[in-house]
Amino acid sequence: MKPIQVHALWLAQDDPKKNTAVLASKRGDMRLHKSIRTLPKRGIILEPLCGKVFGPEDHHLLTERHGALVGLDCSWAHIEESVSSVMKRTRLEPRMLPLLLAANPVNWGKPGRLTTAEALATILYLIGRHEQAREVLGAFRWGERFFELNQEPLDAYAGATSSAELVDLQFEFFDIDREGLQ
């Protein structure tokens, strides 16, 4: 099985010594971009404000169409303006993640506050690329803890047969409001 191309658009809004996309790219687990122009033209870009959860209907964009998986790496403090600026300039399909708990030290245990590496690993896991998902988080002491913390929802999400089912599954694991989720 051919590995999925994994990329991150780094907007340099936080400390590069602690940035998961920068560290994972140094290990060769993803390709880091500092410009939108150098991003792949086909695939998925993860951005948490788009309102459309990555579901089974999207898997073919990465597997059959050989699209790339791109993470938008920006500070949570600047998320709205970062998403707005980037999404005006790319044709990549925007998707957000189903709800999971962060395992990174900054946002540990917070629902949905994942690092770029955690987000990319999530999508790889959901499409059955478990080994590649673990490689992306392999640079971090807490990387395996992410999978332990989220094992039940990850497996349930991966087994969903539609985006609607996947979205509904979130309510079995997390106490969240249904407003704004698709």
Q: What does the alpha-carbon distance between residue 153 and residue 150 come to, in Å, rounded to a whole number?
A: 6
Q: Is 92 exposed, middle or buried (0-12, 13-18, 19+ CB in 10 A)?
A: buried
Whole-structure pTM value = 0.90
Q: What does each of the 182 residues of the chain score in pLDDT, given as a tens digit?
A: 788 999 998 888 877 777 788 888 888 889 999 988 998 999 999 998 888 999 999 999 998 888 999 998 887 777 888 888 888 888 899 999 999 999 999 889 999 889 999 999 999 999 999 999 999 999 899 999 999 999 999 999 999 999 999 999 999 998 766 554 44
Q: What does the alpha-carbon distance between residue 127 and residue 114 come to, in Å, rounded to a whole number?
A: 18
C-alpha distance from residue 94 to each of 22, 26, 81, 130 (Å): 22, 25, 15, 22
Q: What does the alpha-carbon distance between residue 163 and residue 71 come to, in Å, rounded to a whole number?
A: 20
